[in-house]
């Protein structure tokens, strides 16, 4: 039978990518558990895993959806991020309302938003900063996807700093310093990322 | 004390406009006149905006300087290329300033007068936990006593609570929390377990029966130096705070420092690594103290070391893929313990050997205790699985402790029912 930790790592990676593609300030899909899995299937391309897992929304335990994914870790060129093909059965909960509320709030701020240590040492996230945290979490999904190997399991540990950058166009822009924790090496790795977001256009990470 | 005065001055400035985000305070020690001159020259480089807290006085005298974030790299490169040694005194000045501000704004701290008014659903400082320990002992002198089993690198006492109804050197259960300092839900759960044992030792028939024959030892803050550091400087600090080499990196992973497969793969020989095993087994006084205690006691029958996060129940081995001789029995106990844990809130735990369930890890605690003959050796990884990780919201402390206790109860009862 496949090692449970290998399946878990692949599922964490897949969930991270899904969060990047489908997450945002109003929605935070997160891995609930791995139902079934198989792998690694080893061929010339690399190591492939087939997974069935369940996602739920961070702030809504009743929102579970089933997913399947194929994760291919490339062996030849370690600089190539893993290939992830995923299918979500059904729909993730709609975030239109939350997205637009957040969008309007930020657009109407007189001064750029600045914040630190989210969550704080005690795990608190002030309600007003929940969307900021979910947005970072979605963006972190991109970083996690790009930097994952079979020997890492990366999670967003904390947002150290976030600073809004005012734009004249319709996008929102934030500079984040995030801390990623790798369960395998136990390292805490700081990353500086610039995140663009728009309710219709989703999340974009520009390093 | 001079540091505090200067910090107060910084706070006064900080409450206006200036920010010290990313600033560090370096301690530079020039050892020769050449080095001293190089350091003195730094005072003239206005672009670096260096703020000397303690200026150059002479060779061998430390120079303390606050360095703004943009100047850190160039200054460190300059020092390193000239072979001038330095250490980081304050990693993040802003964090320290913020904390001082909060302390000053906070109304006078009221320590709880009894363990009944202690808040189990919030995280506490080292002083508060040590005060709790003394309160618990004072309230239950016939059941609970406090042992000092050693002192940490920074000379903090290492306290173990002993729960005993009498006898001499009875077979015993050992539980430790907080060996990795950033895993705050574990120390918080340890506090809750201590209170739970006291509350239930007569009315819970399992616990009452266990304490008729066995003792329970509980070390709540197994790594007090690291824990203090997570409060003052770096919430995500894992290791001890020892310095063993000329490396500027501090700390040894106390869960790689035990004499079981020490130094093997699954630990690092790099002092800067989070899994640095240390220069030799038991180099860390926090580990040595437990080793000495276990050997001197000689009658410990179950050993449970508690970590977070990942939601796992693990048994030996971590340093080899060879199954432990008792792995089938340990697997069965784990199955029962996890079932009990999940019964409360539905929290899912996986279980198995360290090597196959989480990753190879050499020099880990329970591999050593198992090889000492303590058959029922387990490691827990508590909530969660990555949503909050180490920064688990305080509201989850009590549910985590409650469900974990059900698993511990299974292990404790099994140990009593299967003497060896």
Question: Which of A121, A155, A185 is nearest residue B389 as measured by Cβ atoms?
Answer: A155
Most confident of A75-89, B98-112, B297-311: B297-311
Whether B5 is covered by a domain: the verdict is no
Selecting among B183, B284, B381, B403, the annotated active-site residue is: B381
Residues B73 and B119 in one domain: no
Rg of chain B (C-alpha set): 24
List domains and CATH numbers for chain A.
Answer: 2-205 (3.10.450.10)
Residues B260 and B402 in one domain: yes
Would you state the pLDDT for residue B220?
A: 98
Q: Per-residue pLDDT tens for B108-129? A: 456 678 999 999 999 999 999 9
Q: Per-residue pLDDT tens for B200-221? A: 999 999 999 999 999 999 999 9
Which has more confidence, B112 or A84? A84
Report chain B residues whose CB lies below 8 A from the CB of A187: 273-274
Q: Per-residue pLDDT tens for B230-282? A: 999 999 999 999 999 778 999 999 999 999 999 999 899 999 999 999 999 99
Would you state the pLDDT for residue B307?
A: 98
- ipTM of predicted complex: 0.94
Residues B348 and B232 in one domain: yes
Domain boundary, last residue among B72, B91, B110:
B91
Question: Residues A71, A49: contact at Cβ < 8 Å?
Answer: yes
Whether B121 is covered by a domain: the verdict is yes
Whether B19 is covered by a domain: the verdict is no
Q: Between chains, do A122 and B390 touch, taking CB under 8 Å as contact?
A: no
Question: Residues A51, A26: contact at Cβ < 8 Å?
Answer: no
Q: Per-residue pLDDT tens for B179-191? A: 999 999 999 999 9
Residue B25 CB contacts under 8 Å (≥ 6 apart), including other chains: B53, B64, B65, B66, B67, B88, B89, B90, B93
Residues B170 and B67 in one domain: no
Whether B71 is covered by a domain: the verdict is yes
Would you state the pLDDT for residue B138?
A: 97
Whether B107 is covered by a domain: the verdict is yes
Residues B82 and B123 in one domain: no
Q: Between chains, do B393 and A187 touch, taking CB under 8 Å as contact?
A: no
Whether B4 is covered by a domain: the verdict is no
CATH number of the domain that residue B55 is part of: 3.30.70.340
Residues B34 and B129 in one domain: no
Whether B232 is covered by a domain: the verdict is yes
Which DSSP symbol is given to B268? B
Question: What is the total count of domains within chain B?
Answer: 2
Q: Per-residue pLDDT tens for A139-172? A: 999 999 999 999 999 999 999 999 999 999 999 9
Residues A9-44 as b or e (16 or more Cβ within 10 Å = b): bbbbbbbbbbbbbbbbbbbbbbbbebeebebbeeee
* Spatial separation of the C-alpha atoms in residues B122 and B120, rounded to whole Å: 6
Residues B53 and B117 in one domain: no
Would you state the pLDDT for residue B173?
A: 98
Residues B78 and B111 in one domain: no
Mutate to test the interface with B, among A63, A188, A192 (most CBs of B within 10 A): A188
Task: Tell me the residue range of the domain where B84 lies.
Answer: 24-91
Report chain A residues whose CB lies below 8 A from the CB of B99: none
Domain boundary, last residue among B68, B91, B114:
B91
Residues B318 and B399 in one domain: yes
* Spatial separation of the C-alpha atoms in residues A65 and A61, rounded to whole Å: 11
Q: Is the pLDDT of residue A1 over 50?
A: no
Residues B157 and B51 in one domain: no
Q: Per-residue pLDDT tens for B343-370? A: 999 999 999 999 999 899 999 999 999 9
Residues B265-286 as b or e (16 or more Cβ within 10 Å = b): ebbbeebebbbbbbeebbbbbb
Residues B106 and B42 in one domain: no
| pTM for this prediction | 0.82
B295 burial via Cβ count (<10 Å: 0-12, 13-18, 19+):
exposed
Question: Residues A24, A138: contact at Cβ < 8 Å?
Answer: yes
Q: Per-residue pLDDT tens for B164-180? A: 999 999 999 999 999 99
Q: Taking the C-alpha atoms of B186, B192, B194 and B199 in order, what is their torsion angle to the nearest 10 degrees?
A: -160
Per-chain mean pLDDT for chain B: 92
Question: Residues B362, B267: contact at Cβ < 8 Å?
Answer: yes
Whether B15 is covered by a domain: the verdict is no
Q: How confident is the model at residue A2 (pLDDT cuts 50, 70, 90)?
A: low
Residues B323 and B195 in one domain: yes
Which DSSP symbol is given to B276? B
CATH number of the domain that residue B238 is part of: 3.40.630.10
Q: Between chains, do A157 and B310 touch, taking CB under 8 Å as contact?
A: no
Domain boundary, last residue among B91, B118, B139:
B91
Task: Describe the crossing of helices B327-345 and B397-417 by its angle, rounded to 10 degrees.
Answer: 140
């Amino acid at each position: 039978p496949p090692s449970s930790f290998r399946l878990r790592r692949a599922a964490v990676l897949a969930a991270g990518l899904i969060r990047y593609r489908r997450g945002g300030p109003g929605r935070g899909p997160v891995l609930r558990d791995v139902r079934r899995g198989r792998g690694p299937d080893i061929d010339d391309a690399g190591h492939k895993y087939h997974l069935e897992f369940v996602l739920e929304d961070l702030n809504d335990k009743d929102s579970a959806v089933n997913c399947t994914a194929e994760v291919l870790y490339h062996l030849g060129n370690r600089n190539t991020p893993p290939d992830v093909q995923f299918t979500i059965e059904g729909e993730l909960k709609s975030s239109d309302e939350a997205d637009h509320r957040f969008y309007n709030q930020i657009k109407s701020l007189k001064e750029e938003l600045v914040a630190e240590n989210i969550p704080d040492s005690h795990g608190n996230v002030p309600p007003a900063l929940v969307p900021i945290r979910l947005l970072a979490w979605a963006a972190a999904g991109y970083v996690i996807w790009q930097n994952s190997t079979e020997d890492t399991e990366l999670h967003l540990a904390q947002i150290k700093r976030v600073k809004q950058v005012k734009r004249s166009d319709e996008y929102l822009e934030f500079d984040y310093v995030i801390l990623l924790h790798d369960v395998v090496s136990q390292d805490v790795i700081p990353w500086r990322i610039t995140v663009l977001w728009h309710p219709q256009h989703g999340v974009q990470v520009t390093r | 004390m001079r540091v505090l005065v200067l910090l107060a001055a910084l706070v006064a400035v900080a409450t206006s406009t200036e920010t010290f985000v990313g600033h560090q305070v370096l301690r530079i020690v020039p050892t020769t006149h050449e080095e001293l001159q190089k350091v003195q020259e730094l005072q003239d480089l206005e672009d670096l905006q260096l703020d000397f807290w303690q200026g150059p006085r002479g060779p061998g005298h430390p120079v303390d300087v606050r360095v703004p974030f943009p100047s850190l790299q160039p200054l460190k490169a300059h020092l390193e290329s000239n072979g001038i040694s330095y250490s980081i005194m304050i990693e993040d000045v802003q964090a320290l300033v913020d904390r001082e501000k909060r302390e000053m704004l906070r109304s006078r701290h009221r320590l709880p007068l009894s363990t009944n008014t202690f808040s189990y659903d919030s995280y506490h400082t080292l002083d508060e936990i040590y005060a709790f320990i003394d309160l618990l002992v004072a309230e239950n002198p016939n059941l609970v006593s406090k042992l000092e089993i050693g002192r940490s690198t920074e000379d903090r006492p290492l306290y173990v609570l002993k729960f005993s109804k009498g006898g001499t050197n009875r077979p015993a259960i050992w539980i430790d929390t907080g060996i990795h300092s950033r895993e705050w839900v574990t120390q918080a759960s340890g506090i809750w377990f201590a209170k739970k044992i006291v509350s239930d030792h007569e009315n819970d028939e399992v616990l009452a029966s266990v304490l008729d024959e066995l003792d329970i030892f509980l070390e709540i803050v197994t790594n007090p130096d690291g824990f203090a550091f997570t409060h003052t400087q770096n919430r995500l600090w894992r290791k001890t705070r020892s310095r063993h080499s000329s490396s500027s990196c501090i700390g040894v992973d106390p869960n790689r420092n035990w004499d079981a497969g020490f130094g093997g793969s699954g630990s690092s020989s790099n002092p800067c690594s989070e899994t640095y095993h240390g220069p030799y087994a038991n180099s860390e006084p926090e580990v040595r103290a437990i080793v000495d205690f276990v050997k001197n006691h000689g009658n410990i029958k179950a050993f449970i070391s508690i970590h977070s996060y990942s939601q796992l129940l693990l048994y030996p081995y971590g340093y080899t893929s060879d199954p432990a001789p008792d792995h089938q029995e340990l697997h069965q106990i784990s199955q029962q313990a996890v079932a009990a844990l999940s019964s409360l809130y539905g929290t899912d735990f996986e279980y198995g050997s360290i090597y196959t369930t989480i990753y190879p890890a050499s020099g880990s605690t329970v591999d050593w205790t198992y090889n000492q003959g303590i058959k029922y050796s387990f490691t827990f990884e508590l909530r969660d699985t990555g949503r909050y990780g180490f920064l688990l919201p305080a509201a989850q402390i009590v549910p985590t402790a409650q469900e974990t206790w059900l698993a511990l109860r299974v292990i404790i009862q099994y140990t009593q029912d299967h003497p060896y």
